[in-house]
Amino acid sequence: MIRPARLPLKTVREYSELSREELADRIHWRKKDLNAVILGHNYQEIEIQEVSDFLGDSLALSQEAADTEADIIVFCGVHFMAETAKILSPEKTVLMPDPGAGCPMADFVTAEGLKKLKARHPEAAVVTYVNSSAEVKAESDICCTSANAVQVVETIPADRPIIFVPDRNLAQWVIDETGRDNIIPWEGYCHVHDDMVLDELEFAKEDHPSALVVIHPEARQELLDRADVVTSTSGMVRMAAEHDQLIIGTEKGLVDKLQKDYPLKTFIPLSKAAVCGNMKANTLAKLAWSLDHLRFEVTMPENVRVRAATALQRMLDVSGGWQAPTEEQERLEMAGVRSEG
């Protein structure tokens, strides 16, 4: 490929006037110059997914962040994900195209609030969903993601109480799966998943009676009870490879991705309203600007980072640490196709 001579532009607005092809091309060359890698969450817009070097769920992305040999990580997701990358790779520069892309669920709990709850249950272990700030992780014993929450909780002795923050729905799912009666959930939730309702599921099932129902564990218990499978976004990606029809209970970006990857299959969003505005804050123009201007850098106090890293590293150890790519993934990589988390 011949490299076109192009100067950086000043503002995001100027980038947004460029064509999608030119933006993708700029991103490609700038990434090479910087030895940067783009990590994209499964909920990103398709145009961001297409320029991502690695797409995945929170677990796969944190494993990739811990292992990458790039000097710069540009994180297309929300703030806690970029922060997780920085916690695990402190020597690298971690950039976010839009620092305003937060996670309202993560905002439900603060370090101060968690400290107060810990004081009331001094014997409890603290399991914290990665959808949380670095300060909250620093107050925790171990982290989990939607892909490994049950596995993480099962490492804690059955008679030891557990404070589980911040997602009450994920906590409830873990209670149902493990049968434990000593989990103290924080009353947080993800509005995108918590807003999905039974009526929507019933309508989708009426229209597609033979479709399998797969739902993210951030949804309410009454929905999870009716799911054929409850799994993380990457679990859904794996299921899409094996099934022709799925009703999918998660953010719409994932459904768009699957429909694009498998145009002949039928993927029905459980709710058409399930859109995470924060995830959609990232655009190709902001990404190109971010790479050219090395903004916005994610930082945190080192004492917080070190304590948060302990909780995250424990989780990665439980999940088998970094997973070597399968033969199929290696073959796709060699053919220039991105790997999936």
- Interaction between residue 271 and ligand 13P (CB under 6 A): no
Q: How far apart are CA 291 and CA 31, in angstroms?
A: 7
Q: How far apart are CA 183 and CA 324, in angstroms?
A: 33
For residues 191 to 220, the per-residue mask of contacts with ligand 13P, x marking binding by CB under 6 A and - elsewhere, is ---------------------------x--
Number of residues lying near ligand SF4 (CB under 6 A): 12
Q: Is 34 exposed, middle or buried (0-12, 13-18, 19+ CB in 10 A)?
A: middle
β-bridge mates for residue 55, sequence order: 40, 340
142-144: strand order across its sheet: 142-144, 125-129, 162-165, 183-185
- Interaction between residue 78 and ligand SF4 (CB under 6 A): yes
Contact 280, 258 (CB under 8 A): no
| DSSP calls for 152-199 | HHTTS-TTS-EEEESBHHHHHHHHHHH--S-EEE-SB--HHHHT--HH
Ramachandran area for residue 320 (φ above 0: left; ψ -120 to 50: alpha; else beta): left
Name the minimum Å distance from CB 82 to ligand SF4.
12
- Interaction between residue 319 and ligand 13P (CB under 6 A): no
- Interaction between residue 42 and ligand 13P (CB under 6 A): yes
- Interaction between residue 114 and ligand SF4 (CB under 6 A): no
Residue 122: closest CA among 184, 169, 33: 184
- Interaction between residue 48 and ligand 13P (CB under 6 A): no
Chain residues 87-146 in contact with ligand 13P, contact rule CB under 6 A: 131, 145-146
| Cβ nearer to ligand SF4, comparing 23 with 44 | 44
For residues 247 to 276, the per-residue mask of contacts with ligand SF4, x marking binding by CB under 6 A and - elsewhere, is ----x------------------------x
Q: How far apart are CA 228 and CA 210, in angstroms?
A: 12
For residues 212 to 251, the per-residue mask of contacts with ligand SF4, x marking binding by CB under 6 A and - elsewhere, is ------x--------------------------------x
Binding positions for ligand 13P, rule: CB under 6 A: 42, 57-58, 131, 145-146, 190, 218, 232-233
Binding positions for ligand SF4, rule: CB under 6 A: 78, 103-105, 131, 190, 192, 218, 251, 276, 278-279
